[in-house]
Amino acid sequence: MPSAQVSAGVPDEIADSLVSRFHDTVGREPVGCFVAPGRVNLIGEHLDYNDGKCLPMALPHATYAALAPRDDDRVNLTSLQEEEPWQGRLGALGPGHAEGWAAYVAGVAWALQEDGLDIPGLDIVVDSRVPVGAGLSSSAALECSVAVGLCALIGLELDHDLRRRLVSACMRAEREVAGAPTGGMDQTIALLAEREHALLLDCRDWSTEQVPWDPSAHGLELLVIDTRAQHSHSDGGYESRRNDCEEAARSLGVDTLREVDDTSAALESLSDTRIRRRARHVFTEMARVEAAVDLLRRSEYESLGQVFTSSHASLRDDFEVSCPELDLAVDTATEEGALGARMTGGGFGGSAIALVPGDRLDTVGEAIVQAYRSRGWEEPGLLPANPGDGARRLR
């Protein structure tokens, strides 16, 4: 792998060094060390607000939190990714109190208080291997590592019901305290992921289903490419795509595009060409999610790759949310032997994925780095990503 590789690190080594950082910073031992993964969505893009399905998987790149309760009402937060620690009090963790990065952590403690849990004063130190702002959900990894740690501190058993409760608490933290809109996919996969599986998440009713996904067992690697690009129109672009989908649904007399049965007739009846293209992406992407799940269950990875590449074309041409950096990563990967590749996440920057034969991984990675270099663009990050575990206690 070229130097651009972003390593996930070895969880036990990261935990060891975090425990000793906690000791240096706080002056005592943490009660435990907890971890939650970043994520990448395999397919099902821009479907959440259309009540569709997505198929995220946990990355091996994760965020680690070491915690200990305090006897007083202070809350002290330190991140090895941030210069400034944050200090607050138990009664003032909610909206309007914590700012910046600390809002994601204090927000989780607040949301759990709101949920009726008796949260003690806290010392928390976090460390992360999830690239921040790359669309790989460093924010949910941070929230969920802390949430799992807080539950352990007060002696709750981390069963499926508690994990579901934590999804809601972490969403509240991100929405109400950090003030960032979040759909819930990120927290759901961070808390419910299982090794060697992707999670089929139905955004209509939040039901989930584990789907086998183990590329390395089939001689393949999933390569995540962090383009390091984030175009300034991404927020506005997201809003306008959402509005277009709502307009399509209104014209078709349904609440959401998920409800449409005869998609061909529906497309023909949409007279506005832009709205029709937006709806076509949504309908074809919904079909691709079903196809991808079916192919995964049958381990038909060649065809899965083709579905990925079709998804990219649809996002690029019909939904118009790609950008030159994403297109170059996808095109270079497929030219160099990837079975398929696509942008992932909201678009206008962020990350792409490529399904690559194991023996082509270095070649594909190097070709992408070279292609970026020859355009004078910032070097992309390369993350080989076998599907990882959900949030859990490490020690």
Amino acid at 250: R
CB of 140 to Mg ion, least distance (A): 6
Question: 111 burial class (0-12, 13-18, 19+ CB within 10 angstroms)?
Answer: buried
- Interacting stretch for Mg ion, rule CB under 5 A, among 133-141, 227-235, 276-284, 297-305? 133-141
234 part of the interface to Mg ion, by CB under 5 A: no
Site string for Mg ion, 87-126 (x = CB under 5 A): ----------------------------------------
Binding site for ligand ADP (CB under 6 A): 63, 79, 81-82, 100-101, 104, 126, 128, 132-139, 142, 180
- Interacting stretch for Mg ion, rule CB under 5 A, among 24-32, 134-142, 221-229, 291-299? 134-142
Nearer to ligand ADP, 104 or 213 (CB): 104
- Beta strands across the sheet bearing 349-357: 340-344, 349-357, 220-230, 381-384
- Interacting stretch for Mg ion, rule CB under 5 A, among 123-131, 138-146, 158-166, 301-309? 138-146
For residue 75 the two structure tokens come to 């809350």
Give the residue nearest to Mg ion (CB).
139
Nearer to ligand ADP, 38 or 305 (CB): 38
State yes or no: is 186 an active-site residue: yes
Nearer to ligand ADP, 350 or 357 (CB): 350
Element (H, E) at 234: helix 234-252
**Which of Mg ion, ligand ADP, none lies near 308, with the C-beta cut-off 5 to 8 A by kind?**
none
Closest C-alpha among 116, 121, 98 to residue 174? 98
Compute the Cα dihedral for 389, 28, 111, 107 and give only its sign. negative
Nearer to ligand ADP, 30 or 305 (CB): 30
For residue 173 the two structure tokens come to 């933290």
- Would you call 21 helix, strand, or coil by DSSP? helix
Name residue, tokens 């070491």: 66
Set 48, 127, 186, 226: catalytic member: 186
Distance CA 246, CA 242 (A): 6
139 part of the interface to Mg ion, by CB under 5 A: yes
Contact present, 229 and 22 (Cβ < 8 Å): no
Amino acid at 268: E
Name the residues that contact Mg ion, by CB under 5 A.
137, 139
Catalytic positions are 186
